[in-house]
Chains A and B, each alone.
Chain A
């Protein structure tokens, strides 16, 4: 049966996006679970540094939201992969839609989830500090605030969001690649590990170079440029790949 109603792309994307926000509640429950685990692990497994002579011992336990941020990055990566699976793709056929609207609504949903993930991961720092104060026998609580400006905090928050988005985009792209060809599930890790091995064998640092490309970039504007370009390339490739997927 043919529909005579002409529906614009933006209204379809909006409709699919709203549906996903209501339907994929498991994504947000997973976020809470992962972050609570991260907070608890930070409390029980904090890093310590110490100095001792025969007169005194100074022990410093270090607490930070880094583990929660790392787990949120993994959460984004895994959820993005799951969203590309056939079961989720079929959800979108409840609407009059095409591949582009499917991808755009997925990306809008992932962006929303990543923003929420980044905000909650950053807020976890406060609860970690509060719980440390309540549960541990601490003489003095040390913080670093004087050296950090509001601009640094804002830049740090944006960088946190970009890391989570990069992970989600990587997950989405890998998910699409494996949907495109199931053999890639095995081929991708083999290729990555193999290429890394060859690079290291030839005196190159391999994956370390990729990590340094992002993690050792101390200029906010350059990091922003690198991340945005990577996000555009990753999303573009994912859309291209999904267009070549078999029609239902």
Chain B
């Protein structure tokens, strides 16, 4: 922002110095000036036409998001209250099913820091079901919010012996997105405010694990594990 203000000031100063000479003074012939102007407009038109053929995706703008925290739609809280079945299936990014006969299960991870929710159920015998739930990931774009969750990597799980390991990408992934915003008069006409700074805000991202009722579960104190209130 400061850069933009500075450049505007510099241009104004430059303008007055340059235009101290008459606007009608010509160092170039009219023909050359015409050619420069036609060339400039041609480049702009060519750029606009080419831009239509560039690979792009539609940004998922979020309407009416309150980042200050309306928790009624929080998926983790819903699942914790025993309402896992009411969660939109589209929010289940991945799922795994393992047959498991052991009496004890250990949860482990090197880097996973988000929530793990365990549901003990009598519906399962000698099996474990794991679901990875991924809600929105909003990034502030001026006063609006854009959901970029579809570009974020999913977590995985592996069952090795009696250990359920939560696997994240080996290295931190950097996802570079470019957002072609509309000019401010266009935004004004679609009712989007020019003012305000949006913040980053996340919905729920957690593992939901269904286990047999009598299975003993152990985990490190670094993991954030909770149980469903049945």
Bound: A92/B137 CA distance, A: 61
Q: Interface residues of A toward B: which range? A: 35 or more
Binds B, one of A116-124, A191-199, A235-243: A116-124
Task: Quote the shortest CB–CB distance from A41 to chain B (angstroms).
Answer: 5
In the assembled complex, the Cα of A114 lies from the Cα of B184 at a distance in Å of 17
Asked whether B139 is an interface residue with its Cβ less than 8 Å from the other chain, the reply is yes
B25 to chain A, nearest CB (A): 7
Of B69-77, B80-88, B147-155, B206-214, the one with at least 4 CB within 8 A of chain A: B147-155
* A32, A34, A163: the one within 8 Å of B37 (CB): A32
Inside 8 A of A159's CB, which chain B residues have their CB? 185-186, 188-189
Q: Is the contact region of chain B dominated by helix, strand, or loop, or is it mixed? A: mixed
B182 interfacial contact with A, CB 8 Å: yes
Closest to B54 in A: A133
Given known A-B contacts A141-B57, A142-B177, A71 and B49 have beta carbons under 8 A apart: no
- Docked CA distance A210–B30 (Å): 41
Of B1, B152, B184, the most chain A CB neighbours within 10 A belong to B184
Report B-chain residues with C-beta under 8 Å of the C-beta of A124.
44, 47
Please tell me if A25 contacts chain B, counting CB pairs below 8 Å: yes
What residues of A have a CB within 8 angstroms of the CB of B111 in the complex? Answer: 54-55
Chain B interface size range = 35 or more
Distance of A56 Cα from B161 Cα, bound (Å):
29
> Which among B48, B58, B61, B178 is the interface contact of A125 at CB below 8 angstroms?
B48
Closest residue on chain A to residue B32 by CB atoms: A25
Bound CA–CA A49/B178 (angstroms): 10
Whether B51 and A58, one on each chain, are in contact in the complex, defined by CB atoms closer than 8 angstroms, is: no
The answer to whether the Cβ of B24 comes within 8 Å of any Cβ in the partner chain is: yes
Contact partners of A138 in chain B: CB under 8 A: 176-178
With both beta carbons as reference points, the residue of chain B lying nearest to A137 in the complex is identified as B176
Question: Which of B125-133, B193-201, B221-229 forms contacts with chain A?
Answer: B193-201
Residues of B within 8 A of A (CB): 1, 3-4, 7-8, 11-12, 15-16, 18-19, 22-26, 30, 33, 36-37, 40-41, 43-45, 47-52, 54-59, 61, 111-113, 137, 139-141, 146, 148, 151-153, 155, 168-169, 172-191, 193-194, 198, 200, 202
Nearest 8 Cβ contacts at the A-B interface: A126-B48, A127-B47, A156-B186, A26-B23, A64-B181, A123-B44, A159-B185, A126-B51
